[in-house]
Amino acid sequence: MNKHKSNTAIVTIIKTGLIAGTLDIICALVQYYLQTGKNPEAVLKFIASGVFGPSALNGDISFTLYGLLFHYLIAFIWTTFFFLIYPKISLLSRNRILSGCGYGFFVWVIMTRIVVPMSNTPKIPFSIGRAVIAVLILMFAIGLPISFLINKYYSTKAINKDI
């Protein structure tokens, strides 16, 4: 891969990760506020508690910033993973909407069944209502933007290769 193509891939991953991560955190913050009426900063502190434990929930602004940092790090990891598997799984390019929704659901399963339980976050009892909302957020804020933007990258790359 030449330097220009490599930079384009990196730029695509960064742009896509920023868009998906921003959409996801906005949805999470708004959803938390609408459900609880409480300061949505608690969402970011909850994310930080994955590393720092329950003390992060009552911590200062630094834990809020760590939560935001960890949130975007996770968004970039999911973006990079999709970017890497996209050319290897032809099913992903057949339907961007189904791929995005499926990827959002996949992210939810991995995060709720593996990542969060292995972290230091306080354990929250399962709620079907919260689960449905979380899946929908991940489908629309993570899965679909990642699917569409990564598809665009690979489609443009294929067009440029043919020229």
Q: Please check the confidence at residue 67 and state whether its pLDDT lies above 60.
A: yes
Token match 């502190």: residue? Answer: 45
Q: pLDDT tens for residues 73-129? A: 999 999 999 999 999 999 999 999 999 999 999 999 999 999 999 999 999 999 999
Q: Please check the confidence at residue 163 and state whether its pLDDT lies above 80.
A: no
d(CA 100, CA 44): 25
d(CA 137, CA 112): 14
Q: Please check the confidence at residue 1 and state whether its pLDDT lies above 50.
A: no
Total Cβ atoms within 10 A of residue 9 = 18
What is the average per-residue pLDDT within 127-145?
Answer: 97
Torsion of CA 144, 114, 134, 97, to 10 degrees: 20
Q: pLDDT tens for residues 5-41? A: 556 999 999 999 999 999 999 999 999 999 999 999 9
Q: Is the dihedral of CA 6, 23, 85, 114 positive or negative?
A: positive
pLDDT at 128: 97
* 152 vs 163, higher pLDDT: 152
pLDDT at 133: 96
Helical segments of 37-123, H only:
41-52, 61-85, 91-94, 96-110, 116-118
Domain boundaries, the chain: 3-157
